[in-house]
Amino acid sequence: MTINQWPQFPEPYWREHLQFPSFQSLEEDITTDVTIIGGGISGITAGYLLSLQGVNVTIIEAGNILNGTTGHTTAKVTAQHGIIYDEFINHFGEEKAKLYYQASDSAREFIKQTVQELTINCDFEEHDAYIYTNSEKELSKLEKEATAYEKLGILGGLVDSMPLTKLPMIKALVMRGQAQFHPLKYLVPLTESIIKNGGQIFEQTTAVDIEEGTNPKVITRNGKTITSNQVICCSHYPFKDTAGFYFARMYQERSYIVAVKSDEPYPGGMYISAETPTRSVRTTPMGNDNLLLLSGEGHKTGHGINTMEHYEALATFGKEVLGVTDIQYRWSAQDIYTLDKMPYIGHYTSGSDNIYLATGYRKWGMTNGTAAGIILSDLITKGSNPYAELFSPSRFHADPDIKRFVEHNADVAYQLVKGKIGMNFKHPEEVSVGEGAHVKINGEKCGAYRDENGQLHVVNSTCTHMGCEVEWNDGERTWDCPCHGSRFTINGDVIEGPAEIPLKKVDF
Ligand SMILES: Cc1cc2nc3c(=O)[nH]c(=O)nc-3n(C[C@H](O)[C@H](O)[C@H](O)COP(=O)(O)OP(=O)(O)OC[C@H]3O[C@@H](n4cnc5c(N)ncnc54)[C@H](O)[C@@H]3O)c2cc1C
Ligand code: FES
């Protein structure tokens, strides 16, 4: 298949051939022990653990469960989160860096044990994880990271060769005994267990507000409410981001995946490059064949103009480096970065005792999201967890937060100004089939996309979150906001927040 023949709105491999339970939307006011907003790995893991302990949980999901970032991941289950431990030792100290490693490694172990206990058939396989480099410049970073591994007692170190010999490298840093799985085959049984334990799940049910109090009340888009003792917000981007100033403390980054058929036996291992643009490789079984999942090309959402080029770059990598060309799937997704790279897991704000959130996994949410589920379920049932302080969203570290805070918000300010004075507009008639472009209609700034039938879909291009101008994403055919990463369909509907309100449709 050539790139031009790829499906326009591809489904990720994970969702193919899988039986999904489906759930009704919420149609009446209800009461429960704990309300969980969001049906991704964090929400489902928290719900699973709470329901095992007899807590009555209700999960509400804006769309369909497991179809957010969790349904579009690469699903390496590892504590090797890129080159991070040397940086964490420098910024947080050795003790906290070690805690981070332990939280991630316990999450990996939790997944392994859960797979065994529930006999889940989810292609769970143990592999060593490698960060490899072919550049002298990155080598010194890898050496420092290897020293960090030694200090923290992480099993692994620098090696001169890797099982997948086709990847060009001068050195690699291995972390032994990591894993990979099929994320949805793993999470569907957990979902079934929640229902078996008396929990409830509602799909097509969007939380729009939380009334705080002794018994917080979640208000949904159709006006129905859920009253509970605690609320956990696992909506990926916190759906109420002004409380806690999350919009100023986080940004979203997209990455791309191509799944390519390979006839050769896979030698084992999971790989990620030290240099950027990132090149990540793992395998997954597809019938009698192997698929190689090649991912990377990350960029801030709304900043990767001509996003098809990112898929093409991965396809070229597959062809030239690994000798694979038979592309079966492609998809992309985004994840959230906090300013100090540590997830936010804990109380929503320092003043909210019974409202929690979990976010900011920096593309390592299989372990971080699992850790979040464990931590939040412990906070609710036991009142404490050894990692709670480390991940507390109320923490503040002068370095590097302040520098990144300034950089992030300066970029948002730049995007806002650029959107007001630096835009190029086409005449609507000039927008060709399959193209999205900025146009002006009656003086209003708009985004226009012309579909295969020649029909123009026009929306007001000013993001309903905080007023930046959305950019066209030609790979996914969506309007993406460069400020905080909201995404909209060609007709303006919200695909991903923080925006809650659709872009206004403009008649043309
Ligand atoms: C390309 C890519 C590759 C990755 N690869 C890896 C990897 O190899 N290993 C790894 O560990 N991690 C990886 N990650 C990261 C990982 O996939 C994510 O961190 C994780 O899936 C996030 O899970 P979540 O539960 O927080 O969010 P999601 O899975 O996005 O779930 C949140 C849910 O909340 C719902 N929601 C949102 N707003 C509302 C609302 N108002 N009301 C109700 N519901 C709402 C959404 O519809 C969504 O279903 C990758 C990420 C990307 C983008
Ligand atoms: S997402 Fe914040 S302005 Fe668009």
Q: What is the CA(102)–ligand 1 centre distance, in A?
A: 22
Q: What is the pLDDT of residue 246?
A: 87
What lies within 8 Å, CB to CB, of 104 at 6+ separation is: 78, 79, 81, 364, 367, 368, 371
Q: Which atom of ligand 1 is nearest to the CA of 43?
A: 25
pLDDT for residue 431: 93
- Count CB atoms within 10 A of the CB of residue 188: 20
Which of 45, 281, 293, 363 should be mutated for ligand 1, with most atoms under 8 A from CB?
363
Residue 503, token pair as written in the block: 């872009």
pLDDT of 6 over the 80 cut: no
Task: Judge whether 57 and 34 are in contact, CB under 8 Å.
Answer: yes
Residue 4, pLDDT score: 53
| Ligand number nearest to the C-alpha of 373 | 1
Task: Look at residue 15 in the predicted model and tell me its pLDDT.
Answer: 87
Mean pLDDT for the chain?
A: 92
DSSP helix/strand/coil, 446: strand
pLDDT value for 351:
83
359 Cα nearest atom in ligand 1: 26
Residue 381 backbone phi and psi in degrees, to 5: -90, -30
Does residue 412 line the site of ligand 2, with CB under 6 A?
Answer: no
Residue 64 has pLDDT above 80, yes or no: yes
Give the CA distances from residue 207 to residues 59, 221, 231, in Å, rounded to whole numbers and listed in that order.
11, 6, 11
Ligand 1 contact, 484 CB (< 6 A): no
> What is Dmax (Cα atoms) for the chain?
64
Q: Given its phi and psi angles, is residue 188 left (phi above 0), alpha (psi -120 to 50 degrees) or beta?
A: alpha
Query: 192-198 — which CB contacts under 8 Å span 24+ positions?
Result: 192/21, 193/48, 193/51, 193/52, 193/118, 194/44, 194/47, 194/48, 194/51, 194/57, 194/59, 195/21, 197/51, 197/52, 197/54, 198/51, 198/56
For residue 436, what pLDDT band results from cuts at 50, 70 and 90? Answer: very high
Give residue 66 CA to ligand 1 midpoint distance, Å. 8
Q: Which of 74, 181, 357 has most ligand 1 atoms within 8 Å of its beta carbon, as the pocket-test mutant?
A: 74
Place of tokens 């990155």: 138
Residue 245 has a pLDDT of: 83
Question: What local confidence, expressed as pLDDT, does residue 21 receive?
Answer: 86
Answer whether residue 397 shows pLDDT above 80: no
From the CA of 248, which ligand is nearest? 2
Are residues 385 and 379 in contact, defined by beta-carbon separation less than 8 angstroms? yes
* Buried residues in 48-77 as b, exposed as e (16+ CB within 10 A): bbbbeeebbbbbbbbebbbbbbbbbbbbbb
Side-chain half-sphere exposure of 147, counting CA atoms within 13 A: 11
User: 3-class DSSP state for residue 407?
Assistant: helix
User: Which bin fits 394, alpha (ψ -120 to 50), beta or left (φ > 0)?
Assistant: alpha
**Ligand 2 contact via 498 beta carbon (within 6 Å):** yes
Buried b (16+ CB within 10 A) or exposed e, 204-222: bbbbeebebeeebbbebee
Mean pLDDT of 224-230: 98
- Across 243-257, 394-408, 428-442, least confident range: 394-408
> How far does residue 428's CA lie from ligand 1's centre (Å)?
36
| Closest residue to atom 21 of ligand 1, CA basis | 70
- For residue 32 and ligand 1, the question of a CB distance below 6 A is answered with no
Of the pLDDT bands very low, low, confident and very high (cuts 50, 70, 90), residue 399 is low
pLDDT tens profile 73-104 = 999 999 999 999 999 999 999 999 999 999 99
What would the mean pLDDT of 461-477 be, rounded to a whole number? 92
pLDDT grade, residue 421 (50/70/90)? low
State residue 409's pLDDT score.
67
Judged against a pLDDT cut of 90, whether residue 232 lies above it is answered with: yes
405 pLDDT higher than 90:
no
pTM of the model: 0.94
Q: Does ligand 2 lie within 6 Å of residue 483's CB atom?
A: yes
Verify whether ligand 2 is closer than 6 Å to residue 499 (CB atom): yes
Degrees (nearest 5) of the Cα angle 96, 101, 102?
Answer: 95
pLDDT of residue 309 exceeding 60, the answer is yes
d(C-alpha 485, C-alpha 299), whole Å: 11
Name the percent of the chain lying above pLDDT 90.
79
Ligand nearest to the CA of 250: 2
Q: Is the pLDDT reported for residue 400 higher than 70?
A: no
Task: Provide the pLDDT for residue 414.
Answer: 66
Q: Is the pLDDT of residue 3 over 70?
A: no
Give kind and range of the element (H or E) at residue 194: helix 183-196
393: preceding bond cis by omega (within 30 degrees): no
265 CA distance to ligand 1 centroid (A)?
A: 31
Assess whether pLDDT exceeds 90 at residue 288: no
| Block residue for tokens 């959402």 | 301
Model pLDDT, residue 135:
93
Which pLDDT tens digit goes with each residue over 135-185? 998 999 999 999 999 999 999 999 999 999 999 999 999 999 999 999 999
Is there a contact between 485 and 251 (Cβ–Cβ < 8 Å)?
A: yes
pLDDT of residue 5 exceeding 60, the answer is: no
The predicted model gives 443-467 an average pLDDT of: 93
Residue 2 reports pLDDT greater than 70: no
**Res. 25 pLDDT band, cuts 50 70 90:** very high
pLDDT at residue 444 is higher than 70: yes
Question: Residue 190 above 90 pLDDT?
Answer: yes
Residue nearest to atom 37 of ligand 1 (CA): 235
Regarding the beta carbon of 494 and ligand 2, being less than 6 Å apart is answered: no
